[in-house]
Amino acid sequence: MQVLVTGGAGFIGSNYVRSLLRGDYPAFAGAEVVVLDLLTYAGTLTNLEGCSPRFVQGDIRDPEVVAQVMAGTDVVVHFAAESHVDRSITGAADFVSTNVVGTQVLLQAALEEGVDRFVHVSTDEVYGSIDEGSWPETHPLEPNSPYSASKASSDLLARSYHRTHGLPVCITRCSNNYGPHQFPEKVIPLFVSNLLDGKKVPLYGDGQNVRDWLHVDDHCLGIQLVAEKGRDGEVYNIGGGTELTNRDLTYRLLEAVGAGEEMIEPVADRKGHDRRYSVDWSKIAGELGYAPRVDFADGLAKTVAWYRDNRTWWEPLKPA
C-alpha cells in the first residue's frame, strides 16, 4: 500500500505521518508513506524528525509534480492548505490558489491514477457561525472568511469528483486543533510562547467567541477511521467535545504558565469574526466508532509543557 500525504510537514499532517509510521494504525501497517509538501512558512522538516517517509518538496498546484507522486498511490490524505484566517483577510489570493486550484489538481491526478480512497481534510469553519446547537454534516455551507470560503470551495470540488466521476472521496471537517508542533501564529502556541517570553497575549474583542477544542491525536484518529472505513462521497465531522470561550482558554493558559491577568492585551476584534463553532460528530461516532481519547485538561498541560521544552523548535518560527 502507498499512502500519499499532502502537507505532511505541517502541524496536523506531520502528526498523522508520525502516527502512521509508528504503527498506531494497524490497517495501514507496512504502508509506504509519501509526503508532498512545499515547505512554506508553516511546514518544516523538523516536524518529520524521527520518522522516514519518502519526502518530495513540491506544490500541489503543479500537475507534473502531483502526477509523479500520485503514481502507485492507493490512498491520498490531503492536508495541504493555507489555513490562517488573519492571513486570508490581508491577502486572499494564495488561499484561493492553493486550497481550490491545488485541490482540483490533486483530485484530477487521483482520478487518473485510480486511487482507492481520497480523504479531503477540511474544517468546521465552512459552516459559518452558530449561536446554539451543533452543525450536522448536512448543514449549508456559509463561510465568512476568505480562508473558510476557499476550504468550502475545495469541499465542493471534492464532492463533485465523487458525484461526476465516481472518485472514492470522503471529506472530514474538524473543530479547532491543538497539540505539539503547531505553528506559533495559532492561538494556543502563540499565547504560550508569548507568555514564556514574558510578552502579553492579544485577546480579540470581548473574548467571548466559542470554539470546540480537539487534540491533534484525536483528529488524526478520526481521519484514519475515515480512510479505512468511511463511505464514499460522505462528509464526517470530527469534534473534540470541549467548548470554551477564548477568554476561558486564555485564563487556562495563564494559569498553566503561572502568569497573571495583567498579561492580557485586548485588541480590536477580527473582521467577520465567527462567534461560535460547534460540530455534531455523532455520525462518525455511530458509523466508525470514533470518540476523542485525550482529556482536554491533560492534553493542554502536555501541550504547554512541549512548548516549554522545545524552544529550539518554535523560536526560529516567530518574528523578531
Query: Distance between CA 15 and CA 165 in Å, rounded?
Result: 31
Question: Which of 178, 159, 172 lies closest to 122 in space, CA to CA?
Answer: 172
Series of mean pLDDT values for 10-residue runs along the chain (320 residues)? 97 97 96 96 90 95 98 98 77 88 98 98 96 96 93 98 98 97 94 96 94 98 98 98 97 96 92 90 98 98 98 88
Using an 8 Å Cβ cutoff, are 197 and 203 in contact? Answer: no
Read off the amino acid at residue 310: N
DSSP conformation letters of 293-307? -S-HHHHHHHHHHHH
Q: Is 124 known to be catalytic?
A: yes
Q: Which residues pair with 211 in a beta bridge?
A: 244
* Secondary structure element (H or E) that encloses residue 213, with its range: strand 210-215
Q: Return the pLDDT at 255.
A: 97
Q: What is the CATH number of domain 183-211+242-271+295-317?
A: 3.90.25.10
All cell numbers assigned to 319: 518574528
Q: Cβ–Cβ contacts within 10 Å for residue 57, how many?
A: 13
Domain parsing of the chain, residue ranges: 2-177+215-238, 183-211+242-271+295-317
Q: Is the separation of the CB atoms in 210 and 244 below 8 Å?
A: yes
The CATH fold assigned to 2-177+215-238 is Rossmann fold (3.40.50)
Q: What is the pLDDT of residue 152?
A: 97
| Contact assessment for residue 150 and residue 123, using Cβ atoms and an 8 Å cutoff | no
Q: What is the pLDDT of residue 88?
A: 73
Q: What is the residue whose three cell numbers read 466508525?
A: 288
Backbone angles phi, psi at 88, to 5 degrees: -70, -25
| pLDDT number for residue 298 | 98
Which member of 16, 25, 127, 147 is catalytic? Answer: 147
> 171 is written with which cell numbers?
471529506
What pLDDT was estimated at residue 103?
Answer: 98
**CA 310, CA 177: separation in Å to the nearest integer?**
19
The active-site residue out of 37, 59, 125, 243 is 125
pLDDT at 320: 63
Q: How far is CA 313 from CA 119, 149, 209, 258, 302, in A?
A: 29, 31, 29, 22, 16
Residue 36 grid cell: 508532498
- Tell me how far CA of residue 60 lies from CA of 40, 153, 170, in angstroms: 12, 16, 19
